[in-house]
Structure 1
Amino acid sequence: MRQISGQSAFEILKAVEAGAKQYAVPLPRQQAQGKIWSGVGFRLGDQLLMAPLNEVSEILYPMPLSRLPGTRNWLKGIANLRGQLIPVMDLSGFFGGVPVKDRGGRILVLNYEGGSTGLLVNQVLGLQHFEEKEAIDSLSLKSPALARCIQGGFERHGQIWPVFSPHALSQHPDFRRVALG
């Protein structure tokens, strides 16, 4: 081993390590966290909502749709998503609200029961993470029709985030009745 001023490289490294330990600031202790819930935040009209992260497969900009004649106005059409045809529904229109303008909206692609459905929403607000201590059971919504698709929610800094359930939407009596008449 090479000698530098009477010390080996190993001895010099040990001296550097000892000096670094002497002046090192310890890392803060990791705090135990509760269970974390994650979802995709979105806006429907002026209502903030979240969809469970494991039920959203992707988020898309509005795309060309093939309109289907004889269907309700909230069924915007069929999209070709990499060779897979998916229906795209205007979620606000379905619940009787002001239809989403395609230009400013986004499409949440949800996977449920082996199929995909696109839900047109006003805005996507990104990933939202909440601790279980932020969970709330009772909340009031601006739309009573929407309430049947909400399964709890979270509150942080006075802001309420209801959890939108795609499963509850699929069980809604009118959701599968897209044909007029």
Structure 2
Amino acid sequence: MSNKLALREFQTRLAQRLQAARAQVQTARWLAVECAGLGVLLPLRHASEIFSPIELTSVPYTQPWLLGVANLRGGLHAVVDLGQFMGLRDQAPAPGQGHLVSLHPDLNINCSLWVDRLLGLRSDEQLKTLPTPPGERPHFAVGEREDEQGRRWQQIDLDLLSRFEPFLNIVARVV
């Protein structure tokens, strides 16, 4: 009898904790990463999973920023060096370093971004929006933020990036 009562109390406490967890506002909206020294914010709603570096299969006749393809959980994903794609570096990163951030399946593109470092989660409360300076900026780079320590962060809209024509055009010109 006491076991049934203890089980019922446990179930009640568990149900209350689950309800409280659902009621809490999720404040983290951004995955903070670093690419070639630049702080980048990726929206959590469009980032799917984080993977440790794995062996990539190279693909001939592609842009230099397309590092290859990887088998991630049984799916074939193109792996793009975000730092090189954004023009922050000329060469691919050293093998075995960095992380892969896969794009959410809702974006309908089997792609993962190679980033140098993972720097954690950020919320809007931790970041202030900076005025966007005039100049050349791709439309997927939607704004800049600054944290309490004064570090500047570039916001990337992964939905816009996944539809950006130069991002989709992976074939290199053969001369």
Task: Confirm or deny a common fold (TM above 0.5).
Answer: yes
Compute the displacement of 1:73 (Å).
1.4
**Which letter maps to 1:123?**
R
Contact 2:46 2:159 in 1 (8 A): no
1: CA distance, partners of 2:116 / 2:133: 20
Shift in CA distance, 48/140, structure 1 to aligned 2, threshold 3 Å = farther
TM-score w.r.t. length of structure 2: 0.71
Contact 2:63 2:171 in 1 (8 A): yes
1:46-99, CA deviations, whole angstroms, 9 ceiling, x for partnerless residues?
110110111111111111111111111111111111211010011111122323
Compute the displacement of 1:44 (Å).
0.9
Contact 2:39 2:154 in 1 (8 A): yes
Residue aligning to 1:105: 98
How do residues 75-154 of structure 1 correspond to structure 2 at under 5 angstroms?
Answer: 75-98=66-89, 99-111=92-104, 112-131=106-125, 134-139=127-132, 144=136, 147-154=138-145
Contact 1:39 1:128 in 2 (8 A): yes
Compute the displacement of 1:106 (Å).
0.9
Contact 1:74 1:94 in 2 (8 A): yes
Residue aligning to 2:172: 180
Secondary structure of 2:33's counterpart equals strand
Shift in CA distance, 94/150, structure 1 to aligned 2, threshold 3 Å = same
TM-score w.r.t. length of structure 1: 0.69
Percent identity (aligned): 26
Residue aligning to 2:53: 62
**Which letter maps to 1:109?**
S
Residue aligning to 2:155: 163
Larger relative strand fraction: 1
Any unmatched runs of 5+ in structure 1? 1-33
2: CA distance, partners of 1:87 / 1:160: 28
Any unmatched runs of 5+ in structure 2? 1-24
1: CA distance, partners of 2:145 / 2:27: 11
Larger relative helix fraction: 2
Secondary structure of 1:107's counterpart equals strand
2: CA distance, partners of 1:152 / 1:129: 15
Secondary structure of 1:71's counterpart equals coil
Deviation >3 Å, runs of 4+: 34-37
